[in-house]
Amino acid sequence: MTFQIAARCEKTGRFGVAITTRPMAVGSRCPFIEPNVGLTVTMARTDPRLGPLGINLLKLGYSAQRVIDEIAASDPHIEMRQICVIDRDGNAVARTGARNTHYSGALVRKNLVAMGNNLFSERTVGSMGEAWDANENLELEDRLLAALGAGRDAGGQNGGQHSAALLSYGWQSFPYCDLRVDQHAEPVGELRRVYDAIRPLLPFYYGRPMDPDGYGREDDWLARKGAAK
């Protein structure tokens, strides 16, 4: 009972996933990203081992379609899963197992997969795609959150949502953004609130490891940025 939007930013090459579900801690077991390589998301009766498997295959140079095929061939319970892959070139593929219930499916395009299982209706997926298109001028993370919110507003999943996560990577080995809401009555809205609070500091935390003297303290950096505007 999960829905998500996964994407590669065509302008920057960055990868990101915004996801929500009824059980707790969705961010700990569903989205997997390797910078400059690609992403895998595993959902439904999820097997978190399939995420690293997909990433390792992408590192070997496999295309997104080949990765999905290899995962399907290796998993005896594949018809209980829902999986998507986007590779470094933006090729995107999704697979929804036959044993998923109610509306379960995906919208797949270059650089994009919006998908979900046990959804209120197919509008959840369609609305995420529409919101992604309507916000093409936003940063990757804002665009993903706008799409996730649209999926929620279109009905979301049966039983509602209690956890949500936003994960994105640039070129470094650590995430650009890694936020999780693990138990909340309205996790998508709470995820947006937390993201809006930390958004001004995301470039600071991403750049400071390489230049700790130049970046200095958070408050000083924000003050300099504010003065420069």
In this predicted structure, the answer to whether residue 141 has a pLDDT above a threshold of 50 is yes
Using the predicted structure, report yes or no on whether residue 34 has a pLDDT greater than 80: yes
- Mean pLDDT in residue range 128-136: 96
Predicted pLDDT of residue 228: 56
pLDDT band at 68 (very low <50, low <70, confident <90, very high): very high
Query: Is 138 a residue whose pLDDT tops 90?
Result: yes
The span from the CA of 154 to the CA of 64, in Å, is 29
Mean pLDDT calculated for residue range 45-51 = 95
As a whole number of angstroms, the distance between CA 59 and CA 45 comes to 25
Least confident of 16-30, 119-133, 215-229: 215-229
For 176-202, the pLDDT digits (tens) are 999 999 999 999 999 999 999 999 999
CA-to-CA distance for 156 and 150, rounded, in angstroms? 9
Helix residue spans in the chain (DSSP H)? 50-59, 64-74, 123-134, 140-153, 187-198, 202-207, 212-215, 218-228
Q: Where are the domains of the chain?
A: 2-193
The β-bridge partners of 85 are: 40, 93
User: Does position 229 have pLDDT exceeding 50, yes or no?
Assistant: no
CATH class of 2-193: alpha beta
Binned at pLDDT 50, 70 and 90, residue 156 comes out as confident
Q: Of all residues in the chain, what percent carry a pLDDT higher than 70?
A: 99
| For the chain, percent of residues with pLDDT exceeding 90 | 90
Rounded Cα distance, 170 and 82, in Å: 25
